[in-house]
Amino acid sequence: MGMSHDVAQMRIVRELRAAEDALDIALLRQSSLLAAMIEARRQTQSDPFVGQEALLRLTRSHQTLVNAGNDLARVHENLRKVQDDVLGDDRCPPGDPYGHHVELQSAS
């Protein structure tokens, strides 16, 4: 027995919102980590370049998450098009953080 379009839509919306939220949380945690690393360097009066490679890698990781957010926004937009094609409805469910149209630009 198959799944109804409504149930499929609810599941996809739930998982998409969870993915968007997880990405935001990861960005916030990495930002907190970056601040803690720099503050520790300052408070311990360490040399200015102690831990520089770790800071560099963390900022690269942070950029990767920002790029992932851009890709996830594109996934969201594509799913809206699928919703319109399948259900004839181009509205995101209420409370959707990306329920408005966003023009995405390449990061490169």
DSSP conformational letter for 91: P
Please provide the size of the chain in residues.
108
Rounded Cα–Cα distance for residues 105 and 50 (Å): 35
For residue 95, tell me if it sits in a domain.
Answer: no
The secondary structure element, H or E, covering residue 57 is helix 52-87
pLDDT by residue, tens only, the chain of 108 residues: 788 888 888 999 999 999 999 999 999 999 999 999 999 999 999 998 999 999 999 999 999 999 999 999 999 999 988 888 888 765 565 555 544 444 445 444
Helices (H) and strands (E) in the chain, counts: 2, 0
For residue 105, tell me if it sits in a domain.
Answer: no
Of 64, 106, 86, 70, which is closest to residue 12 (Cα–Cα)?
86
For residue 103, tell me if it sits in a domain.
Answer: no
Contact 12, 40 (CB under 8 A): no
Domains in the chain, number: 1
Rounded Cα–Cα distance for residues 96 and 93 (Å): 6
Amino acid identity at 74? R
- Supply the pLDDT for residue 34: 97
Task: Give the structural domain span for 60.
Answer: 5-87
For residue 96, tell me if it sits in a domain.
Answer: no
For residue 98, tell me if it sits in a domain.
Answer: no
